Amino acid sequence: MASSASRSTLSQDIGAVLGVVAHGLCNPAELWTAVGPTPNELTCGLIGHSFRPERDIPNLSGKAILVTGGNTGLGKETILQLARHNPARIYLAARNQRKAESAIQSIKQELLAAKGAGSAAAEAVDIQFVQLDLTSFPSIRQAAETFLQNNTRLDILVLNAGVMAEAAVTTPQGHEIQFGTNHIGHFLLTKLFLPTLLKTASPSASGEEVD
């Protein structure tokens, strides 16, 4: 039985790979942009341009931002780069408060070092921790409630958190851990924030700022 299940899984994997290859062959331009070097990389910067945070991120004055999984890796770097552009407030949403607070301290130290010790602009960056476990629906709802109790707008929502687990583990709701964390958890979080995101994006809200 196990051997039959393994063969079935292998067949599904092979089918998925062949499907991706077939799609790429039918859409070469799309495949090239996904796996090949960009025109900017091919021409050493003569054609097009690569993304440069210091140049391409606009002024974020008055903006409220929430980044999931912001205590390490890409999430932490995202907060650092966004913080350089004067947002009103950034929320670091993660499971581990100790690691999150350590990351916040590290980000603030790097901002101070870049802007100069004693810089009022660097010291004024407001980065706050929000407890969030994306495997837990109650935790997701509590995180959204905590944020919305203190904010009337959400300008940027970065869904960065994710796991890659090898063991067969499920969430408390019974979903496979990767699917439950990376997709379902973020889907629920976005759904809870959607009314605020839409309100913030409406033209009538363009002049509002975080208190």
Structure tokens at 162: 């994710």
Which domains does the chain show, CATH number per domain? Answer: 2-42 (no CATH), 53-205 (3.40.50.720)
Query: Measured in Å, how far apart are the chain's first and last C-alpha atoms?
Result: 61
Stretches in the chain below the pLDDT threshold 50: 118-119, 207-209, 211
CA distance 9 to 141: 35
pLDDT tens profile 119-148: 455 556 899 999 999 999 999 999 999 999
pLDDT tens profile 97-123: 999 999 999 999 999 888 765 445 555
CA distance 104 to 133: 18
pLDDT for position 206: 55
